[in-house]
Structure 1
């Protein structure tokens, strides 16, 4: 059956046309074919590609708010053309390209104040429009039809937690002279009890429901009618009706049960071994990137379950298991469990788990799913979870960082789903081990491992370019790594 996908790299998304001819390529042969060094740490974070000009636009926050413009015309020779600088202390969070337009997400001068989406022409980089959106626009994307720009405005609190803006979604109507509608989540406060019972997290100090929500990342359906937004710290996904400009649903994501063999974790960085095991804990998924795709006539969401916490000076939810008082009935072997070689070093949240309010913990919740989960887009039902298998492949390759076992493991941060040679592939970015894993998810209920390859330090942006758009007619994966400023380009062999 023909397959269609919406690809979503960290902070960008792009549709794949069902009518495109299949290019014969070996899906297990992606290798580096070019690279460019854009500087030091934070100089290469997110990228977006314009097929009409063969320019790559890369977010850089090294020494100011900038977008680096890279020329791929003579690929595999890759050349930096120029730097777009913004006279602001604000950071740039995201870039995306569609139909000759470049949209840039820019924090406000006051980080807890409103931010902006700046739209430029990709040809001459002239400004088309500057649109005010909500606080801290963390990710910006176009709808596949090019009619809308959407911004996930995270609304993080100040470090002292005295200022906590609302988390919002902005919908910009390009055809209506870039008019903007910014949505908050206040209407869902009446559903709080039901959502929390399903594993949704509402817990910021003195925060209203709307203030507590922190939108992170957006994927848009192929028909441009719906958007799906990860609410990372809240452990949920929101559904947006783009045309009517309304938030229609919040889907709480629940938890992974690490006592089950299929969900095994390595929980200690002080046990002198690397081993995935079962433990009497659960894990909140806390997804970062999200990708929408359709295969077999059904639409799905792929979630990169990085894990993120509220760890501010004014409020810090993080704790190690050994620092908590455990309920003796629920944890009869607490003294043994709390040894450093067991659960003692594991980072958990202290905001959840005291279910009866008596001051000790009846349940333990790790922060991050350490996995890629696949959901049915319509129902929100979990259909597959790539976690244990993913980490085991990293271990088998000798690339697992045991120093991260106590906190996020391989740290699954980015995902983009794309079609290569008729197969639907998930490209999974792992920040702490500097790797991309490729899985065949053509049958979403039965993911199959394909390949593992190295990236720069701390891969952040994962962008797929279709063969018809790439500079040499072959599939291309572009990975921007924030740890060392490297942008690397990977392509498969032709068959």
Structure 2
């Protein structure tokens, strides 16, 4: 199998242009050369054997046994991969099935948990969404079989052989989508997304569960934090849905926690509210509480450093600026670190539209009683009840907005941009910022990578620029969130703090030195996706298992002091290819 070389050239295949009155200063826009002193090499690869079914999503490492644990959405199981086998069986060809041992543990069909009102409660398990490890304790976030009902966290004790012993289940909120430990191990925190039912008739509150852990034993009951205290406040910059129920007014019902990071001192947590384009702050004192909401604002695509390729029809890597076009950050994964006593947040700005489908089986059934429901039938997708997504060509733009004719397919949020409600849009808001960013601990933006990710991928893979994750088609995602930075983790290499940013659609990850949050430096772009179409795709363009690693979803950095090889490792779980790739990271 032939892989294209990973070295970056500085000019091939990239076009920069300007629309409206915004010039692009290409003379001052040379791509960064990267930092060859940081060497990143693939040293192992596990393959689940399940392709394009979410067989490798979230990864967490257990130091004592050398196992990495993976959520497998295809089977509903948790896979365990022995990373320490790398010491005795180094990978010769990372695209062979595996040089790593594999086994899997079943997630139970049901679990009994303590309930403050009912004594005991049975939760029917619908699948594992996330997991985390601290010491010898494994926490798995599982949703309810009915996703709008309360889910649970399953706790297991691990030993140095990688064996698991069930400890207990603890009730969480509706749709627990992410779980993490505080660095000191005193708390387990759970982002309960509270996503509505497919018919949008039931919309549970988004919430955060905080589970105290005492001497390695999790409490029977979680502290359930909700956002009710913010319902009476005015939050015009927090994006909300458009629930078709005319009596629906509560912000707390609309907020959807996605991901949680805890500061290194274990005193504060931050939650990404992805669909709401906001962050929440949690104080982890003796009585944990939500202490603030921070809207993240919007990215101006009318300035040179924020150019983007929004035209999928020209089949070129051509970045432009557009006066009146903005991006919503909508971060998925977030991380935190500290510099000189100050905490900073790092976000992967994926973007996310609201889109809900009912279980109607025919066009005749695709209808409902709610006055604002859309009920749009599609033979492939089924019954669409609600979405906030539309195309820029399907709305009426104000006469002041020009230069948009070539990007009529660009996906925008129809709930934003028409400030006076007259049906004419004074601005357009696209999903995702196509970047990673750094904020301070009150939500102020300190750094945004601008258009750098798209410019580097355009230079690196001009023939497959903005392709999607399960086929090869240039410009396929240019009209919809571009490369989609989604996965993210931080790692310490000597005295440097590195951010690893996974690109869901293009594949691979970019490494940045964020030691100084206001002087970020590009280090490298690493991509072990196979772009050889003759090998990687069928005649129709659909990808095959020979396509390499596709759609990084979860990442974990293992410092050298905890690595089985004595060298820092980066674990990347790739959702579409169903693979776990293991990289060695070292300073030359």
TM-score past 0.5 threshold:
yes
| C-alpha displacement of 1:159 | 1.4
In structure 1, which of residues 40, 44, 51 is the aligned counterpart of residue 56 of structure 2? 44
Instruction: Indicate yes or no: 2:569 matched with 1:476.
Output: yes
Conserved? CA contact 1:36–1:79, under 8 Å: yes
Conserved? CA contact 2:152–2:169, under 8 Å: yes
The residue number in structure 2 matching 1:321 is: 392
Specify which structure has the bigger relative contact order, considering alpha-carbon pairs within 8 angstroms and separated by 6 or more residues: 1
The residue number in structure 2 matching 1:343 is: 407
Instruction: Indicate yes or no: 2:477 matched with 1:404.
Output: yes
Q: Deviations over 1:345-403 (max 9, x none)?
A: 110011111101112212110011111010112x3211100131122111111152221
Conserved? CA contact 1:101–1:121, under 8 Å: yes
The residue number in structure 2 matching 1:151 is: 190
Conserved? CA contact 1:27–1:421, under 8 Å: no
The residue number in structure 1 matching 2:451 is: 388
The residue number in structure 1 matching 2:262 is: 220
In structure 2, which of residues 229, 234, 240 is the aligned counterpart of residue 202 of structure 1? 240
| C-alpha displacement of 1:449 | 0.7
CA–CA separation in structure 2 for the residues paired with 1:403 and 1:296: 43
Matches within 5 A, 1:172-191: 172-175=211-214, 177-191=219-233
Say which SS state the counterpart of residue 307 (structure 1) adopts.
coil
Instruction: Indicate yes or no: 2:557 matched with 1:464.
Output: yes
Q: Deviations over 1:141-194 (max 9, x none)?
A: 001111110000001111111111110000001127343111111111222x3x
Instruction: Indicate yes or no: 2:246 matched with 1:211.
Output: no
Conserved? CA contact 1:35–1:486, under 8 Å: yes
CA–CA separation in structure 1 for the residues paired with 2:134 and 2:521: 32
The residue number in structure 2 matching 1:249 is: 292
| C-alpha displacement of 1:292 | 0.3
Report the RMSD for the aligned CA atoms in angstroms: 1.6
CA–CA separation in structure 2 for the residues paired with 1:435 and 1:286: 21
CA–CA separation in structure 2 for the residues paired with 1:320 and 1:396: 28
Are the structure 2 counterparts of residues 477 and 54 from structure 1 closer, same or farther at C-alpha, using a change threshold of 3 Å? same
CA–CA separation in structure 2 for the residues paired with 1:166 and 1:249: 17
Say which SS state the counterpart of residue 222 (structure 2) adopts.
strand
Say which SS state the counterpart of residue 144 (structure 2) adopts.
coil
| C-alpha displacement of 1:86 | 2.0
Conserved? CA contact 2:241–2:388, under 8 Å: no
Say which SS state the counterpart of residue 492 (structure 1) adopts.
strand
The residue number in structure 2 matching 1:79 is: 100
- Of residues 94-103 and 177-186 in structure 1, the stretch that sits farther from structure 2 once superposed is 177-186
Instruction: Indicate yes or no: 2:436 matched with 1:372.
Output: yes
Q: Deviations over 1:94-145 (max 9, x none)?
A: 0100010000000011111100000001123111110010001110000111
In structure 1, which of residues 430, 435, 439 is the aligned counterpart of residue 503 of structure 2? 430
The residue number in structure 2 matching 1:4 is: none
| C-alpha displacement of 1:451 | 0.5
What TM-score, normalized by structure 2, do the two folds share?
Answer: 0.76
Say which SS state the counterpart of residue 403 (structure 1) adopts.
coil
The residue number in structure 2 matching 1:67 is: 78
Conserved? CA contact 1:295–1:424, under 8 Å: no
| C-alpha displacement of 1:230 | 0.1
The residue number in structure 2 matching 1:440 is: 513
In structure 2, which of residues 132, 154, 162 is the aligned counterpart of residue 118 of structure 1? 154
CA–CA separation in structure 1 for the residues paired with 2:581 and 2:491: 18
Runs (4+) of structure 1 moved beyond 4 Å?
none
CA–CA separation in structure 2 for the residues paired with 1:263 and 1:435: 22
Say which SS state the counterpart of residue 452 (structure 1) adopts.
strand
CA–CA separation in structure 1 for the residues paired with 2:391 and 2:193: 27
Say which SS state the counterpart of residue 91 (structure 1) adopts.
strand
Say which SS state the counterpart of residue 391 (structure 1) adopts.
helix
Conserved? CA contact 2:390–2:413, under 8 Å: yes
What TM-score, normalized by structure 1, do the two folds share?
Answer: 0.90
Conserved? CA contact 1:27–1:492, under 8 Å: no
The structure that has the greater radius of gyration is 2
Unaligned regions of 5+ residues in structure 1, if any? 1-24
